């Protein structure tokens, strides 16, 4: 009876926690990301087998950690760690960066052919091996990710969106970073495709 009452109390606390507007938003975001990652892994496993499909998925995750200005890839680690251990997402995001770089180093050292498996990984390889101008993508993505993960932390800290002071103070800056990323990424993708097709201007 005691254990049952404790369980009910815990369930009610969890329900109340995720019933809050911001926590519910973060949970839905996390669930959609998990579904996407599982679906992508199953798709790549079907194409290349479980072992290679897993590494393709991990290397693709590293691409999104390092080369996008939104912290969704790192959020996969940061959100459950924040809930279970109370560690702020910014620290988990830094850890995710180290993991992503570790995956990249491993790929270059032991499995460089994996970069040829998908168009995303081919582009990732081009970005990593061409400092100028592609490393601008890494720099802008890092700045945008810091904004994004700080906003993610705030989602857990407060109960409603109107209480998100950091988000409301800095959202315009984050949008400027994302806009700069989109413009730069479009230009560099165009530059990349021209190089692949051998067209010169």
Six-digit token string for 38? 């599982």
Residue-range definition of the domain harbouring residue 151 = 2-197
pLDDT at 195 (0 to 100):
65
Four-residue CA torsion sign, 15, 157, 29, 72 = negative
pLDDT at 165 (0 to 100):
74
H-run or E-run covering 110: helix 89-110
Distances in Å between the Cα of 91 and the Cα atoms of 2, 70, 81, 126, 149 are 37, 16, 10, 28, 10
Number of domains the chain is built from:
1
**Rg of the chain's alpha carbons, rounded to an integer?**
20
The stretches in the chain having pLDDT less than 70 are 1-21, 158-163, 166-168, 170-171, 190, 193-201
pLDDT at 125 (0 to 100):
93
pLDDT tens per residue, range 112-156: 999 999 989 998 998 999 888 888 889 988 988 888 888 877 777
Of 84, 96, 192, which is closest to residue 136 (Cα–Cα)? 192
Model pTM greater than 0.95? no
pLDDT at 53 (0 to 100):
93
């Amino acid at each position: 009876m005691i254990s049952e009452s404790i369980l009910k109390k815990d369930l009610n606390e969890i329900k109340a926690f995720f019933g809050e507007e911001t926590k519910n938003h973060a949970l839905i975001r996390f669930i959609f990301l998990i579904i996407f990652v599982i679906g992508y892994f199953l798709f790549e496993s079907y194409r290349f087998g479980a072992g290679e499909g897993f590494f393709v998925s991990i290397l693709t995750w590293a691409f999104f950690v390092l080369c996008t200005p939104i912290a969704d890839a790192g959020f996969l680690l940061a959100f459950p760690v924040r809930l279970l251990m109370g560690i702020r997402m910014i620290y988990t995001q830094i850890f995710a960066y180290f993991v992503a770089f570790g995956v990249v180093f491993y790929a270059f050292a032991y499995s460089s052919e994996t970069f040829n498996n998908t168009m995303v990984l081919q582009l990732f390889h081009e970005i990593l091996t061409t400092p100028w101008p592609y490393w601008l993508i890494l720099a802008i993505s890092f700045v945008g990710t810091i904004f994004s993960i700080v906003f993610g932390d705030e989602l857990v800290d407060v109960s409603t969106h109107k209480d998100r002071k950091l988000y409301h103070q800095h959202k315009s800056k984050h949008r400027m970073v994302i806009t700069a990323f989109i413009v730069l990424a479009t230009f560099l993708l165009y530059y990349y495709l021209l190089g692949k097709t051998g067209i010169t201007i």
